[in-house]
A and B are shown apart, each in its own frame.
Chain A
Amino acid sequence: MNYWRIAALVALRDIRSELRSREQIATLLFFSLLVLVVFNFAFDFTVIDFVALGPGILWVVFSFAGVLSISRSFQQEREEDRMQGVLLAPVDPSAFFLGKVAANTLFIAAVEAIVVPLSILLFNFRFGPAVGLVILALALNTIGFAAVGSLFACMTTRTRRGELLLPLLLFPAAVPLALAAVKTTGHLLAGRPLERVTGWLGLSAAYDLIFLAAAVLLFDHVVEE
């Protein structure tokens, strides 16, 4: 079977099961909203500038939601023991990996698309074209986050300390994405010229490419028994 077909099939399977149950997105949404509400109480936004703190808050929310989403995604595989079947197929197992990364990216991006406008409402900021750009920029960073996160999650969900290990490994590794996301979001919300943002977007894109490639190449070693 064709490599890309397998990847697409895996991604579509996850998406379809999610559309049916809507369980994961709902959980992620509510979790994200809760964290936002906590920040609403933690910082007094009538006094503090949303442009200064908002980007950081948003990335924290999506990092935590992302970790939840990715680890849940791989735990499901273990519970339903589906990985064995896929791995027995005469295709590169990394096709399976790409499918999972695609699905995870989509889920987290969907949550971002909903939570960003909500946060603007919650913190009394103004709407504008920047909002759409912010969501796109965050989605770009989410690709890299999901790639490295999925690679690590495939290992950590098979250990006892899994819930602790995934954030411990992923957050430091994703620092460049965090910086890029926060800086890009900040510049966009402040309405600064787009030249300020291109460097950071370049970093995100480069990170995504490098680590998608690396993860695909290394995935075999994670799953071989």
Chain B
Amino acid sequence: MDRTVPDRAGWQHAHFAAVALLMTASVVVVFGVVPGERTMGVVQRIFYFHVPSALCAFLGVGLCAAFSALYLWRKDDRWDLLAHASAELATLFCTIVLVTGPIWARPVWGVWWTGEVRLTSTLVLWLILVGYLVLRSSAENADQAARWGAVVAIIAALDIPIIYKSVEWWRGLHPRVLRATGGQGLDPAMEKTLLLCSVTFFLLFAYLLGQRYRLGLLARDVEVLTHAARRAAASGPGAQP
């Protein structure tokens, strides 16, 4: 039952370096290279980090649900560790979306919260994710946390598209997707920049997922080893003074 964390330090460092490099490139391109948007001005450049963060949040939710389903099917707790890690990352990126959104909105529309359909739904998503994390931490033991988390994750994954759609219908508007060039679709340079930033963020997500998964494995190892040590001490032979 050797669950030692495989020491792939070399790969991890390379991955981190790649992320750092791409991130630098992204910043340079976003600030220096890509043309500005006509009506919103400089602040529109937030878009290039705001959208990839949202994509990562959705990716996290989808992965969490998939890993949860795998866990319920296979009962291998490594799937659960991946599910928990995905949810945490989804929450992280969702927070970034909710922070950058209002910062973008304030100078452009004069209000912090525009009641825009996508941001409203994302706030609901954030609440669901927080609920997931709190429920897990409130469970009695790891097995219960895993099973309950999995149930909530699957319900959430089914619910989220319905939430986004129903909020859209509720507002009665065509979704106000903030198109960079006034509704005519994205300028190709902007498209490429968005692609670059998205790739960067996905790589960052993968890196963080790996690290968080490692953390989960280590935590399990600690638990297992502590439990084993306690059992050994309790059933120790008369050699114990």
- Whether A and B are associated in the same complex: the answer reads yes
Binding site for B on A (CB under 8 A): 148, 151-152, 155-156, 158-161, 165, 168-169, 171-173, 175-176, 179-180, 183, 199, 203, 206-207, 210-211, 214-215, 218, 221-222, 224
0/1 string, B171-204, CB within 8 A of A gives 1: 0000000000000000000000000000000000
Q: Note all chain A residues with C-beta closer than 8 A to B135.
A: 155-156, 159, 165, 169
Q: Note all chain A residues with C-beta closer than 8 A to B139.
A: 159
What are 12 contact pairs spanning A and B, CB under 8 A? A156-B138, A165-B134, A165-B135, A169-B135, A172-B131, A175-B163, A176-B159, A176-B162, A179-B167, A199-B169, A210-B158, A215-B155
Q: Are A175 and B134 in contact (CB under 8 A)?
A: no
Contact among A151, A169, A175, A215 with B167 in the assembled complex (CB-CB below 8 Å): A175
Q: Note all chain A residues with C-beta closer than 8 A to B138.
A: 156, 159-161, 165
Q: Are B152 and A169 in contact (CB under 8 A)?
A: yes
A155-B124 contact, Cβ under 8 Å, with A214-B155, A218-B155: no
Q: Note all chain B residues with C-beta closer than 8 A to A160.
A: 138
Q: Note all chain A residues with C-beta closer than 8 A to B170.
A: 179, 183
Q: Note all chain A residues with C-beta closer than 8 A to B125.
A: 172
0/1 string, B103-144, CB within 8 A of A gives 1: 000000000000000000000110110111011001110000
Q: Note all chain A residues with C-beta closer than 8 A to B162.
A: 176, 203, 206-207, 210
Is B150 part of the contact surface with A, judged by Cβ < 8 Å? yes
A173-B134 contact, Cβ under 8 Å, with A155-B148, A222-B148: no
Q: Are B127 and A218 in contact (CB under 8 A)?
A: no
Q: Note all chain B residues with C-beta closer than 8 A to A210.
A: 158, 162
**Which chain B residues in 7-54 approach chain A with CB under 8 Å?**
none
Is B78 part of the contact surface with A, judged by Cβ < 8 Å? no
Q: Note all chain A residues with C-beta closer than 8 A to B156.
A: 173
Residue of A nearest to B139 (CB): A159
For the residues of A in contact with B, the DSSP-based class is helix
Seed contacts A176-B162, A179-B167, A203-B169; 13 additional CB < 8 Å A-B pairs: A159-B135, A168-B131, A172-B163, A173-B159, A175-B124, A176-B163, A179-B166, A180-B166, A206-B162, A211-B158, A214-B154, A218-B151, A221-B72
**Which chain B residues in 80-122 approach chain A with CB under 8 Å?**
none
Q: Note all chain A residues with C-beta closer than 8 A to B151.
A: 151, 155, 218, 221-222
A224-B147 contact, Cβ under 8 Å, with A169-B152, A211-B158: yes
Q: Note all chain A residues with C-beta closer than 8 A to B148.
A: 155, 222
Q: Note all chain B residues with C-beta closer than 8 A to A168.
A: 127, 130-131, 134
Q: Are B158 and A169 in contact (CB under 8 A)?
A: no
Q: Are A221 and B150 in contact (CB under 8 A)?
A: yes
**Which A-B residue pairs are the 5 nearest by beta carbons?**
A159-B138, A176-B166, A169-B131, A172-B127, A168-B131
Q: How far is the CA of A97 from the CA of B150 in the complex (A)?
A: 18
Q: How far is the CA of A152 from the CA of B131 in the complex (A)?
A: 11
Q: Are A211 and B147 in contact (CB under 8 A)?
A: no
Residue of B nearest to A176 (CB): B166
Q: Note all chain B residues with C-beta closer than 8 A to A199.
A: 169
A173-B155 contact, Cβ under 8 Å, with A159-B135, A161-B138: yes
**B148 smallest CB distance to A (angstroms):** 5
**B123 smallest CB distance to A (angstroms):** 9
**A35 smallest CB distance to B (angstroms):** 22
Q: How far is the CA of A129 from the CA of B80 in the complex (A)?
A: 52
Q: Are A151 and B155 in contact (CB under 8 A)?
A: yes
